[in-house]
């Protein structure tokens, strides 16, 4: 009986992952509302990025953590591009954080650049900085966080690909 149920359970789990996001390892730390995010890294073109400068330019910065291995992440990127343009006049910036392209290992950099180009994305995409998992935990990709102009996490993170949830969070955070 149990052996007959295993294929059905595997199918259900596979569908859940496919519909919402790609699994990943938890960093063990919890990013909480009010936590301050601080980093220095580079974008996918090698330009230096300082978090304080980045966040200060925007009322809200939406950080979308994605990976080159994650189909749902890549599939939502054109919608994130639209979202980026739609909310720009409300002081919102969308920023991608490529979890598998880091400062210490950029072996997948050209693949990430190709994905960004193929999806038509013009918003900023960053290499993951060493220790980013200590600030932004991601149990799955995509995971999306919202940061205010002071670098503090605000609102609840969104786990999985859900542009509608991003809109809801952005509407709430920019209404204040």
Q: Is the dihedral of CA 147, 31, 73, 103 positive or negative?
A: positive
Beta bridge partners of 64: 96, 144
Q: Is the dihedral of CA 130, 133, 139, 145 positive or negative?
A: negative
Residue 116 or residue 4, greater confidence: 116
Q: Provide the 8-state DSSP code for 101.
A: E
Q: Provide the 8-state DSSP code for 36.
A: B
The mean pLDDT of 135-154, rounded to a whole number, is 94
* CATH code for position 166: 3.40.30.10
Q: Provide the 8-state DSSP code for 118.
A: H
Percent of the chain clearing pLDDT 90 (strictly above): 73
Residue 144's H or E segment, with its range, is strand 143-148
What does the mean pLDDT of the chain come to? Answer: 86
Q: Which domain holds residue 62?
A: 2-175
Confidence of residue 130 (pLDDT cuts 50, 70, 90): confident
pTM as predicted: 0.83
Phi-psi region of 37 (alpha: psi -120 to 50; beta: other; left: phi over 0): beta
* Rounded CA Rg of the chain: 16
pLDDT of residue 170: 98
The total domain count for the chain is 1
pLDDT of residue 166: 98
């Amino acid at each position: 009986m149990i052996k007959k149920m295993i294929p059905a359970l595997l199918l259900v789990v596979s569908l859940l992952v496919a519909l919402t996001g790609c699994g990943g390892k938890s960093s063990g730390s919890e990013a909480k509302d009010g936590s301050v995010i601080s980093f220095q890294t580079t974008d996918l073109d090698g330009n230096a990025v300082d978090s304080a400068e980045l966040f200060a330019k925007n009322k809200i910065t939406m950080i979308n953590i994605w990976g080159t291995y994650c189909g749902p992440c890549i599939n939502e990127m054109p919608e994130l591009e639209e979202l980026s343009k739609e909310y720009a006049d409300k002081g919102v910036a969308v920023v991608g954080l490529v979890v598998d392209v880091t400062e210490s290992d950029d072996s997948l950099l050209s693949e990430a650049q190709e994905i960004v180009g193929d999806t038509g994305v013009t918003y900023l995409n960053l290499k993951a900085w060493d220790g980013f998992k200590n600030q932004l935990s991601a149990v799955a990709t995509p995971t999306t966080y919202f940061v205010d102009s002071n670098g503090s996490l605000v609102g609840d993170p969104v786990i999985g690909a859900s542009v509608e949830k991003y809109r809801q969070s952005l509407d709430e955070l920019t209404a204040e």
